[in-house]
Amino acid sequence: MIERAAVDLRVSQLRQPFLSPLALMLTTAFVLAGWGGYPARAEAPQDDSGTSPSVSAPSKEAPGEDSEDTNKPDPEQLAAWEENGVPLLEAYCIDCHNEDYKEAGLDLTPFLSLKDVSPPEFQRVLEMVRFGAMPPEDYDTPEIEERKQLVHALEDAAFSSTCDLRPKAGKVTVRRLNRSEYNNAIRDLFGIDLKPADKFPSDEVGAGFDNNGDVLSLSPMLIEKYFEAAESVADAVIGDPKELPSIDKDVAPDQIPVYGSFEVGSFNGRFVDKESFAWIDLDVPFDGEYRIGIRGGVTTSKADPVTVAIVDGEGLLLKTVELKYFGGGGSADSERETVELKRGKRRLGFIPILEEQELKVGETRFDQMTTMDEAVVNEVIEGLADPIPPNRRIDFAEHPFMFRSFEVNGPSRHPKDAFPPKHFDLVRHVAPQNRGRYKDVHQTAMKNLREFMPLVFRGPVTDEEIKPYAQLVEQATGERESFYVGMRRALTALLVSPRFLFRAELPNADAEPNEFGDYALTQHQLATRLSFFLWSSTPDETLLELADKGKLAGEEVDKQVKRMLEDGRATALAKDFAAQWLGLRNLDGHEADEKRFPMFDDQLKLAMSRETEMLFMHVIRNNLPVSEFLTADYSFINEPLAKLYGIESPKGNEFQRVSLEGTPRRGLLSHASVLTLTSMPTRTSPVLRGKWILENILGIKAPDPPAGVPELEESETAAATASLREQLELHRASSGCASCHRVMDQLGFGLDDFDAIGRFRTEDSGHPIDASGAMPDGRSFNGGAELSKMLGDTEIEALARTMTERMLTFAIGRELTPDDRCTIDDVVEKTRPNGFRLADIASAIIDSRQFRFQTPTR
C-alpha cells in the first residue's frame, strides 16, 4: 500500500541498530500488504508520476454501483412525485431554473420526470428548499405547508426506492488510529497517560470528524513519529531495576560528619571522643531494605570490641554492629547490616556504646539525635570542604573509637510501586541468570508476549506471530542488555505493527456473505468498533474475552454498551464526538478583543468547553431525550463560568450542577462555548449563530455564499450609529445575499441577547437589543429562551435526525451516502416512541447493519 520510496527506513536513520528488523517488518507489511495475517489490500491511488507520496486509504466505489439502472424511476415513486412534487416545482422553481434561463447554472427540468437526476443534485435541491433560501422573497414563495410538502416529496423521490432495494452496509476504509485514539489506547493499555500522539502531525477531518478513514493518510514523517513514540512508550511502561533510583553511597573518611569533638588520623580516620558520634543524611528513594556498611573500630588492640548503634533521626535503635580494633595505619574492622528505611529525607546516626547498657532494637532511643543543633550540623557539613591536618599524637584514651568510612546500598529489592503501573503485566516472567548470562530467554519472552499481545493487537495471536518479537528479546540479551531492555524492544515492535496502528475489518477466509453481499464483522472487529465508538480507545479485557468466547451478541451487546457508557473512558464521546459535532475544538484558537473582554482567557475557554461536554455526558449516561440539549434548565459550571453568567456557585474550579431557573439561559444555545464560537472577536454574529443552529440542530446545510459577495464590513456603509441589525439589513439588500440571510439572520437574532463571549445583555453600544426573529416556517420568537423552547417543542425530530447522522458518521468512520439514509430513518423511527433518547440512538446505531456489517473492497 505504500510506495517503497516513501518509506525508505534505512538502518542509518534509526537511533538503535535493533530497530532495523522493525523497519523491515513495517515496510514489508505496508508494501506487500502482509498485515500479519490479514489479506492483501488494493494499491493506493497513484499520481501522474506513478508514485504515491503519502499513504491514503483506497477511495470508496460510487454509491449504487451494484444496482441495475439508478436513472430509471420506479413507477410508484414517479406517480407520487408527479402528484405531490411536480405541481409545486412548476409553480415556484421552473420559471427561473429551466433549459433557457438556468439561473445559478441550474436546470430543474429533468426533475419533472426524475430521469437522469443524480443523488448529489437531489440532495442540493432538497437542501435549498428545506433551508428556505429558495424561492427568493421577491418571487412567489410557497406557504409553510407547501414548502413542507415539497421537501417530503423530494425526500421520497430521492430515497424511497433506495431503501426498498436494501442497499449495502457500505465500505469502511482500512484506517489508522487518529491522535486521540492513539493516546487513549496507550493510556488504557499501559496505565499511564503519556499522550505521545500530541507530537504527531494534526489529523485531517472528513465529513466533520477526524476518524474518517478516507482522510487518515500516512506520511513518511508520521512513520518516523510512530517509531519515536513506540520507543518512548516502551521505555516508560517497562522498568529496568538497574535504571530505577537507588542509593549507592560511599562516604570517605574526610567526608564523615561528626557531631562533637574528634581528631583526624594520618589516613583521615575520624577519632571521636566519648561523647561524639557520626551521622549521614540520605535521600531514600523507596521504602525498603538498605544495606549499611561501617568501617572503623576501637583505637587500641587491648580494648574490648565496641557496639555501634545505628539509629534513625528520632534516635530509635535500628540495628547494632560490633567492631574490634581498627588495626592501625589505614586499616579498619568492618561490619554490614540491613535496615528498613522509609522513603524521603532520612538521617542515620552511628553512636559508639562505650558503657554497658541494655539495647533493644525498635525500642531503645538515643536523645543525642533529637537534640542536634541544626546550626552546628550545617557548620560541620560546610567544614567538610576544608581538609583538616592529621594529628599524629592522638590521645587514644580520650578518643577510644575511630570511623573510617560508611557505605549505603539499596533498596535490596525495589517495591512494586517503583515500577510503571502495568510493568508486571508486561513482564510477568523474567528469564533466569547463570553467571551473569540470561538463559531460557526465548521461552520466557514467549510467555510474556502471549499474555499481552492479544490486548495490543485487539484479537487472538498465534505462536508463529509471537516468535519474531521473542527473537528481539533474545537479540537484546545476546548483546549483554538486560531482559527488561529486550522486552522494551519487543514492545516497540508491537507498537509499530500495522496490527496495532491500523483498524482493518476484513472477513475471515471462510466467511460467507449474506444475501446482500455484506459480511458480518467478526466478534473481535465488533469489540473494536464498540470501543473506538464509545471510548475512542482499544477494547478492554472484558470485551476481548467475550469476543474470544463468541458471546458478544444479542443482549450481551446491550449490557456492554450500558457498562461502557458508565465507564470513565466514555467521556471520549464528549471530547471527540460532541466536541467535533458542536465545533468546541475551535474554541482553543478563538480570540476575543482584550479590551472589551479582559476576562476571556485560556482558563475560561476550558471551562466553556467543559460545561458543554458535561451536559452531553449527563444526557447520554442518563438516556435523556435529545430535547434536553435545548430545554435543560440546569447546567454544570465552575466559579469562572458562574461569574460570567452572573450566577452564584461554589468557589473554585470544581464543576457542579446548578439550576438555571430565573435566568434567561436554557440548554446548549445559552452555553458560552456555542455563543463564543459563533461570534467575531469584537462582536456577535447573527449570521454565524443562525448558521450554527441550522446545521447542528436542524441538520440543514447552509448554502455557500455566491462568489464575489462582500463581507459585512465591506458592504454598503450604514450610518455610524446604526445597530448591527441595521447593518445586516443593508447587507441583505443584495439579491445574492437576501435569500440565505433571511433564514440565518432571523435565527441568529434570537441569540443576540448574549454578547460575544456569552454574557446576557439588554443593550449594545447604546442600542437596545432586539432579539426577535422567526423560524424558516415563519413562527416568531423573542430572545434565546423563547428560541430554545420553540426548537425544543417542535424540532426534536430534526435534532434527533441530525444527531443520528453525525453519530453514525463518527461510529463507522466514513462519510455517509444516500444509501445510509435508510438506516437513519430506521434509527429515528425506532427511537421515536421513547422520545428520541440519546443512549437509545447510540444503541440503535450499534444495532444497525452499517455498524455490524461491512461491504468488502474488491
CB 97 within 8 A of CB 106: yes
Residues contacting residue 660 through CB under 8 Å, at least 6 positions apart: 632, 633, 634, 635, 647, 666, 670
Q: What are phi and psi of 256, to 5 degrees?
A: -80, 120
Domain ranges of the chain: 75-164, 247-410, 572-794
Q: What is the pLDDT of residue 73?
A: 66
Q: What is the pLDDT of residue 63?
A: 39
Q: What is the pLDDT of residue 645?
A: 96
Q: Using CA atoms, how far apart are residues 342 and 612, in angstroms rounded to an integer?
A: 45
CB 739 within 8 A of CB 134: yes
DSSP state of 684: B
Nine cell digits for residue 205: 477531518
Residue closest to 674 by CA, chosen among 625, 704, 635: 635
CB 148 within 8 A of CB 155: no
Q: What is the pLDDT of residue 99?
A: 84
Q: How far apart are the first and last CA of the chain?
A: 15
**Single-letter amino acid code for the residue at 167:** P
Residues contacting residue 428 through CB under 8 Å, at least 6 positions apart: 447, 448, 451
Q: What is the pLDDT of residue 133?
A: 62
Q: What is the pLDDT of residue 733?
A: 54
Following DSSP, what letter does each residue of 364-382 receive, concatenated?
-B-HHHHT--HHHHHHHHH
Residues contacting residue 612 through CB under 8 Å, at least 6 positions apart: 574, 578, 582, 584, 668, 671, 673, 674
CB 473 within 8 A of CB 554: no
Q: Using CA atoms, how far apart are residues 178 and 740, in angstroms rounded to an integer?
A: 36
Beta strand pairing call for 772-774 and 317-323: unpaired
Q: What is the pLDDT of residue 715?
A: 45
Nine cell digits for residue 31: 508494501
CATH number assigned to the domain covering 247-410: 2.60.120.260
Residue 837's SS3 state is strand
Q: What is the pLDDT of residue 129?
A: 78
Q: Using CA atoms, how far apart are residues 227 and 15, in angstroms rounded to an integer?
A: 10
CB 91 within 8 A of CB 42: no
Q: What is the pLDDT of residue 347?
A: 97
E runs forming strands in 746-798:
763-764, 767-768, 772-774, 780-782
Q: What dihedral do alpha carbons 140, 143, 147, 153 form, nearest 10°?
A: -100
Q: Which residue stretches of the chain have pLDDT < 70? A: 1-73, 131-134, 136-138, 160-167, 703-740, 857-858
